[in-house]
Structure 1
Amino acid sequence: MLPSTELLLLRRIATEQATGRAPSLAAAVVRDGAIAWSGARGYVGATAPDTTTQYRIGSITKSLVAAVVLRLRDEGKLDLNDPLDKHVPGTSFGGTTIAQLLAHTSGLTSESPGAWWERTPGGNWTELSSSLTVDEVKHRPGRRFHYSNVGYGTLGELVARLRGTSWFDALRTEVLLPLGMTNTTEQPRGRHALGYAVHPFADVMLPEPAHDAGAMAPAGQLWSCLDDLAKWTAFVGGRTGDVLHPDTVAEMREVVTIDAGDTWNAGYGLGLQLIRTNGKRLAGHTGSMPGFLACSLIDPATQTGAVAFANSTAGVGVVSVVADLISMADDCEPALPAEWRPANIDRSLLELTGLWHWGPSPCHLRVLANGWLDLSPVSGAGRASRFRPLGDDRWLGLDGYFAGETLTVGRTADGTPGHLNLATFIFTRTPYDPTAPVPGGVDEAGWRA
């Protein structure tokens, strides 16, 4: 990036490391699927951390586990509306759905019963499951957002049972290795930061423990580095390789629940946190474990993302750092729009394009470069949607009011498109065309003064 931009980015993390008193802070800006800038302050051992230095990433682990669950869904091995009992029978919360566990709306307790799991050695699934009595269901499933680490321990068991291997082996085989994330591990490997708590009233540090979390590991076990998390950040933005279809990752980014009162600035999708800040809507996840803070976010609209790590229990605003790095990069060096080029589309689609009317309201139907359709009010306000082909003159709505609804082309006797039927709404070439099947018919006297 430009030297002036790099100085601005470096100053942001330098200020955070100094004011937050972090033993070390490492960060990177991600663009076009790769690191565009990285920087670090503080030390890991005798030198500053680099893009291969491992930090514990905490709950970012959850979004990786969620990707495996969505792979299982896409393969037809589960439905997101399946109750847990169908795949992991015998729990006290077997009626909660897979989707509710993914989105933290299951109502389950936030932490596992007993000693705080993040600072003590973890047990196995049998021990965890037996501790989760009916009293550990704190809210009616689906009622509200209630962050649950236990829910992701349960999803890890779900993955293990359906794959016939450990949750991490499934994750490594299906997600990490295909994305080239070879330095993301269960335990630290090679050069890694040690976790510390910094005294609130003195410049001294205390080492934090880092136990194996056992059955709770899918909630926050993993270690990773900037190089690997940059690839994951790009994945969340839609550069999914062969791991998941981009439509599935877009589904993960959809808002399922919010956690911010009347005007939401924080929400959750299917394994992904959603944050609205600096005029942007970001997707990704934060992470914290004793001694570590982490954050990975991306703006899917601009494809600019950022990652930040600190080896401190508290005091460092990694979320604000990441959000600021994204905004600074986009403000100082906005990405250029892709060059326009003619599209190789099916020319038979051209007869569908142009002006259509829903009653007296005019709309434009356009063919997109990927062969999808876009139907939008001429005024720019109102119900608009994109549609992808289903075949046989049928199209599936993808956005807004018409998401999931079917648009069907009605043709005249000579095969010309005569009307569009969109979820019973009839669109015609002229307002209330009497030759089309307009619901309720058209007054025979026609338009009048």
Structure 2
Amino acid sequence: MKERILVLAGLLLSALVQAQTPTSPLRLSLQEARAIALKNNPDLQIKQLEVSITKAQADQARLRRVPLIYSDFNMQRNLIIPVTPVPANAFRPDAPEGELIPLRFTTKWTSNTGVNAELNIFNPQKRTELAEARLQTQIRQTEKEAEEIDLSYNLDEAYAAAIIAAEQLKLAAADTLNNYTVWKMSREQFDAGRLMQTDLNKVKADLNNAKNNFEEAQKIWKQAQAELMVTMGYPPSDEAGLELTDDIEILFRSYQQSPAPSAESIALRKLTQEADLLNTQLSSTKAGYLPSIILKAYYGANYFDNRFEIFKGNNWHGNSFINLGVRLPITEGLERSKKLAEIRLQTESNRLSYLSQQNKNELERLQATRDIAILEKKYLRSKENYDLAADTYRIAQQQYENGRLLIGDLSKSNYAYQLEKNNYLNVAYDYIIAKMKLEKGVRN
């Protein structure tokens, strides 16, 4: 088991330090990973579909403003011809007052066919329908842009986490090999009688801890890769062939040189669009108090006969009319007044949400700016401390090999090196994430 872990550590260290062969399935820079995520991520695709749906709804609203024209045809067989009572004196002047005569006013077969037309000359609520649909499309488009910003942030964070995990795995692999070398040398010294059992036990414990750290780093590395694959829209099981071409230094310089973001806040833009939608709905609801005017027309023919002879021209009789209708709402005004009160409350809520979002954006910007200023200095110092600790540990190893340093001092040097290594990686990650948060906070 021990030799297998050491061989695996050596192979991983070699694979991570050297570039992979051209047959590697997926070699990605941060920009390439972003492009893949924007193309493949299912959550973003859902937002795009929602935009398309609202565009289709706006097209439907636009078509509803066109005059409605349709033709129809129906054929009816009256199984029992209905009877209508009429005053008898309409047919017999001498009939007693109040006498009724049952008459049948239809035939066994009836039919009608023609062309119908309907035009809303003035419909106050339909006038704002198209405007509302267009505003809904704008809101969905803004939500899609917000999803793109969130996706970009999540992708950058996952990419940075994967790089940090890869660096930690490289260092854990190197640490495991170094501890194995120290243990092998210490074992030889112990066999030669030049090292105490307690010192050998300490070296062995350090090796076991290094193996544990290596396996833990390997687990974190695989998880970070899987999360990056999911963010890009791939199955998490595909992470085995993933290679990241950017490193910590590249990301640090990229974010260090990036200008301060000045894009419009997506959240504030959405709140503004929602306010416009509420104003449009308010106007539409108020307009509901006005009458609507509808023009209807029909041109066709009716068929009457006791026999089914629809091709007999004498049985068809022309029928046509033009109808102008005015509809004046009365009781609907009670419900409409409640709707107006609701919209006014929503408008006030939207105004307060806008102010709240402004304050949150400014707070996040100030906090991220302060964090970046501090973390940039901490990163440079941590990088210097890490380089110094690595050089000190290398010198300590040489002195131990030459017999000029005790094993306890070597362990202390190794421990200091590990502390500086972890601090350097953590500060680098914190700086990059702080820059990401600043960009996201300003834009979102």
- Please tell me the TM-score bracket, short chain as reference: under 0.3
* Structure with more of its chain in helix, by fraction: 2
* Structure with more of its chain in strand, by fraction: 1
Return the TM-score normalized by structure 1: 0.16
Return the TM-score normalized by structure 2: 0.16
Q: Which has the higher contact order (CA 8 A, sep 6+)?
A: 2
